[in-house]
Structure formats: C-alpha cells, structure tokens
Amino acid sequence: MEKERLDPWGTGSVKDYARLQSEFGIEPVASLLPRFRTPSPHLSRGIDFGQRDLARVLDAVDAHKPYAVMSGIKPTGDFHLGTKMTADDMVYFQSLSKKGMVYYAIADVEAYADNGLSFQQTSKIAIRNVADILALGLDPDRAVVYLQSENLKVLQLGTVFSKGVTNNMLRAIYGERQIGLYMSALYQAGDILMPQLPELGGPKPVLVPVGADQDPHIRLSRDLAARYHEEYGFVPPSSIYHRLMLSLNGSEKMSKRAADSLITLESRPNDASKKILTAFTGGRDTVEEQRRLGGRPDICPVYDLYRFHFAKDDRHVETVNHECSGGVRLCGECKQEVTGLVKTYLEEHHRKRDAMTKDAEDLLAKSRDYLSSKGR
C-alpha cells in the first residue's frame, strides 16, 4: 500500500484522516476532550481531529505556565474560510490561559516562493489579514505578528537548520522540489521554533494549529527540534490538525487558487450568496430520490459551511445533518438558510474589521520593535 504523501503546497485534499493517524503518528483529539472546560466549535464538532503532543500544552495551561501558539498564513489574499480556521484556532488556544502568547507569521517568503507574490504586494495584504484576525478575537496584548521576510531570527534559524538537514531528508518529506520551496520549508521550521529562543523566554510548549495537509512542516520542525536539542534545548513542538473544508465548486480543496471554490472574509454578502446558491452539494439527482434516500452531508460543501463556521451552535449542526440525511431538508432551502447566516456574519465581520486597520498597523509595528529589541 503506497503511502499517501501530504502536499502542503498542493490543491489536493486529504482523503483519509484515519490513515494519517496510522501512518504518520498523528493522534486523535478525542481522548483529550474532557480536559477542555469550554471546547471550541472546532473541538466539539470533530473539526480538529488530530494532534501531536497536545497534552504538553494543556499541562502548561493547567499549571499556569508559559506556552506559545504559533501558526503562519500566506498573505496571498484575503482570509478565506479555510485560513479563518487556522486563525480561529490561534485565537481559541490563546484564550485558554493568560500565559498563552500567539506568534503569527505572515508567510510572505512562502507566498513568494510558492505563489510568486512580491514582498511589496504581500505587505499590503498583510495589514488586512492582521485586521481580520483581530476581528476574529485575537488579543493583541499577547501576540507577536511579523512578516517572515523581515524577521532576522527566522531567517537565521532557517540558515542554521539548512546545515542540519540533508537533501534526502527533504525529499523524503516533501518529494523532489525546487530549492525555493525547500528554503521556505526551513524558514517555516524557523517560525515554529523561534518562540523557544533564549531571548524569547527559552524552551516552552508551542502549539501549531494547521490544516491536515501541513503536517510535513510539523514533522520537519519536530525532527529539527531533536537535532538541535543539545544546542537550543528545544521542546518538540505540538500540533493540532483541522479537517480541510470541501470546496464550493466540488473540487478537492477550498483554495485561493480557484476563486469559485471559496468565500473570503472580504466577499460582498451578495457575491457570497451567489456562490452558495450555485455551489455543488451532496444532494441527489431528483427531489423524489432525495426524499427517499436522503442527502449526503459528508460530501456536501454547503453542510460544511454550517459545520465549520456558520451554524448557531452544535445542536444546529446536528439538526441540519439529521434533516438532510433523513430526506427532510432539500438543498434549495438549506442553501437559503445558510446564505442568510453568511450574509449576517460577513456584514458584522466587515464592520469589526474596518474598525481595526489602525490596530493592525499598531500590532505589526509593536511586534517589529519587540523582536528587534530582543537581540540574539
């Protein structure tokens, strides 16, 4: 049986979450759920399905000890509903304890290497992305937000790590890639391990929330943490994985590379509605058939809109699932309902986000000063 290779730069989906667990050693989240006082919707709805060493972070939360939450998002455009999930997780895990510090890398080096966006282009997008995550609830007082390309610590760590890896190691993890992508992978290991540098408080648990397809970066970082343990004292980074949303157009993965596959947080409510009304669904060919066999929420991107983002609560998700599979709910009415929820959400998000441009600029400036004041 050939291994499924995860491609962090691809547009493919993850086909088999159970296999990820058995083949790559990702552990299920379920057994740790009782440790959360107020589980996030991602946890209670099984969206965050896997983890590595999550317990180490929860131990720090319980003991009121410092920990970090670190993730990166490419500034290739507005947050879409896929990237929002990573942002939601950063916000949630920051909120678990006053000792939680968020490091958010605006991955402009990767955006350049993978998507060809210039640093000028991405620095403009970055401000809007930061305003988005602030509107999603990030506490700026415990957050460091930086552009990868301006962060000497990350670039230096990437350089250090380049000596600790072999080409064979990189090929085994990522397949044969051009050097630009290998370099951006090393910088991402730099992002992930930076919070443990002595000048930033030294070794500590670091949780990296990511989509399931990003696990190769986690494996590389954990490997490097071990290789450089003696020199830096790194604790292996922890990770939590969310499922990938189904794409609205029926393709494999919601992606900024295909405009009709996704809704961004920038979308005008009317445009979003149109995309939803023409979206692929898990419905049957005829009404008669759907009444008889029921719809298939497991392959339906419209159901994913409820489950991943817009249902009022967990019960609402269950109701939709139940009514759909039971043939009670047809696609038309289901789309109408979620369209209303999306419109309301976007209008409110835009209001919040527009009020936060200045805060976003301040946070970036404050973070820049903070990092450069912490000499190596």
Task: Indicate the residue among 190 and 205 with the shorter CB distance to a second copy.
Answer: 190
List residues bridging with 105 in a β-sheet.
72, 146
Q: How far is the CB of 151 from a second copy (least distance, A)?
A: 9
* Closest among 73, 348, 61 to 191, alpha carbons compared: 73
- Check if the beta carbon of residue 188 is closer than 8 Å to that of residue 107: yes
Written as one string, the DSSP assignment of 253-317 is S--TTSGGG--BTT--HHHHHHHHHT---S--SSHHHHHHH---GGG-HHHHHIIIII-SSHHHH
Q: How far is the CB of 183 from a second copy (least distance, A)?
A: 5
Q: How far is the CB of 179 from a second copy (least distance, A)?
A: 5
95 or 162: CB nearest a second copy: 162
Q: How far is the CB of 161 from a second copy (least distance, A)?
A: 9
Which amino acid is it at 209? P
Residue with smaller CB distance to a second copy, 49 or 182: 182
Q: Shortest approach of a second copy to residue 121 CB, angstroms?
A: 13
Shortest Å distance, C-beta 153 to a second copy? 11
Other CB atoms within a 10 A radius of the CB of residue 146 amount to 24
Residue nearer to a second copy on the CB measure, 270 or 372: 372
What is the torsional sign of CA 195, 201, 202, 204?
negative
Query: What residue ranges bind a second copy (CB under 8 A)?
Result: 109, 112-113, 116, 119, 149-150, 152, 155-156, 159-160, 162-163, 165-167, 170, 176, 178-180, 182-184, 186, 376
Q: Of the two residues 22 and 168, which places its CB atom closer to a second copy in the complex?
A: 168
Measured from the CB atom, is 165 or 193 closer to a second copy? 165
Residue 71's beta-bridge partner residues? 104
DSSP conformation letters of 196-222: GSGGGTSS--EEEEEEGGGHHHHHHHH
- As a whole number of Å, the end-to-end CA separation of the chain is 47
